A and B are shown apart, each in its own frame.
Chain A
Amino acid sequence: MSELVNILIIEPSYLVREGLKTLLTQTGLAFRVEETAVINGSFQKLVEKHQPRLVFINTLLLHSHWHGNRNKAPFQKLQIIGLTWSDVPEGVLSHCDFVLDITSSKAILMHHFVHFITKLGLINDEKGSESISERESDVLRLVALGYTNNEISERLFISVHTVMTHRKNITRKLGIKTVAGLTVYSILNKLVESGELKGRASASIE
């Protein structure tokens, strides 16, 4: 399972917001959307709160609310897509990674969507079928047996940070978040035997 992409839509028009969501769904992107018709407070606060990967924003709103630096947090890691239906307000172009003319036909809009979504690597076909690596299954085994990140790091001679990265990848690939769930998976796939769990069982219930 690939991770959900956070998307923030800032656009006064309900119709446009709905239309955007419909098109996004049709691209096959797995996403979670936060939407707002207005900016209460600042644009930066909104971005910090929702941590989106993509922001669709009405260019007029962007024009009146822009105080920031595209090369600095929190703006450097996200893509800003300006929405416009006529002229783009002056100076706004340089803040946008892309400008979308909302009067375009469906075919053109879809073409743009798929283009920047694939360019950003947000849709990747291989990830879905990716199974866990040998190292990951070593980590998974120990997680299932109820070991903590520290203990796993000591046993496998890797840093705690690496353990956490492995765990994140395991969860993403399997679609299983909890220790108890990973334990069930490990038993079903014979990474551990239920006998081994005895005595550590209490640790596996978070």
Chain B
Amino acid sequence: MLIHQDMKMADVVHLNHHLLHVINRFGIQLGYGEKTVSQLCATHKVPLPFFLEIVNTFHDPSYFPLESLLQFKASRLIEYLQQTHSYYLEFRIPEIENYIQRLNNDSSFDEAIKVLLLDFFGQYSHELTVHINKEEQRVYPYVLALEQFLESERSDQEQLELLKAYSIHEYEEDHENVEDKLFDLKNIIIKYIPSPKDSRLLNLILHEIFELEKDLNNHQHIEDLILVPIVEKMEIELRKSTKRTK
């Protein structure tokens, strides 16, 4: 079932609680009362179609409304992607780290293995941080500048040259997958760790990793399948741009 504007936000969460974090990224926090999706979007000044498409894409990965998502403004999309980044770096990653650290309380667990897991996860979080920094420092500013340029009435030659020097293809080509290490970590824990006396904490860690992986997958989809085509469209416009330079 798809999520629509007249549903109560509370029912959306009952339908799929994985959406809680996604809803938060639009600035909509708990305590929905009886308000519907469209009412809450209006209160928080979130464009309703944008909210619906993003939430539904997450809710049902086979529902990927390319046509309508391509209508959205790049800056709007980037705002959402950035919210997602900070959710990973400020919340989810530290939380998993915390859980792994809590393994220390279990004395039946070999010290060396705790260190191994923490190290491995540390490497992963470093990798993810580098990936995100590259997007936020190089790619997103370019997209925002491009959007601004196309929206402004007049333009200066210098800016135009600057924009033409980069192309979203560069990003598309070396936009690497950030899930490989997570995938490995899952198998290491599921298959290869010496069986502990009590698996409950490890179960929790696994659960978190599965959630993060699902979220990253959706994020990557949005970057590759929505952001890139939107920017490609803007680049074509830029090349055709017959704007008079000052």
Question: Which residues of A line the B interface, CB within 8 A?
Answer: 1, 35, 174-178, 180-181, 184-185, 187-189, 194, 205
Contact = CB atoms under 8 A, between A and B. Distances in A.
Interface of B: 62, 112-113, 116-117, 120, 123, 180-181, 183-185, 187-188, 191-194
Given A1-B187, A178-B184, A205-B123, 4 more contacts: A176-B188, A181-B180, A185-B188, A189-B192
Nearest to B190: A175
B116 A184 contact: yes
A159 B181 CA distance: 28
Contacts of B185: 181
Given A180-B181, A180-B184, A188-B113, A175 B191 contact: yes
A205 B116 CA distance: 13
A16 to B, nearest CB: 14
A118 to B, nearest CB: 26
A176 B192 CA distance: 11
B120 A184 contact: yes
Nearest to A14: B62
B140 to A, nearest CB: 25
B184 A188 contact: no
A184 B188 contact: yes
B181 A188 contact: no
A188 B194 CA distance: 8
B174 to A, nearest CB: 14
Most chain B CB atoms below 10 A, which of A35, A174, A181, A185: A181
A176 B116 contact: no
A179 B185 CA distance: 12
Given A188-B113, A188-B116, A205-B123, A176 B184 contact: yes
A35 B120 CA distance: 36
Contact of B123 (A175, A180, A187, A188): A180
- The 7 A-B residue pairs whose C-beta atoms are closest, nearest first, are A181-B184, A175-B187, A176-B184, A177-B180, A188-B192, A178-B180, A178-B181
Contacts of B184: 175-178, 180-181, 184
A81 to B, nearest CB: 20
B183 A194 contact: no
Contacts of B116: 184, 187-188, 194
B187 A174 contact: yes
A195 to B, nearest CB: 11
Contact of A185 (B62, B112, B180, B192): B192
A181 B187 CA distance: 9
A70 to B, nearest CB: 30
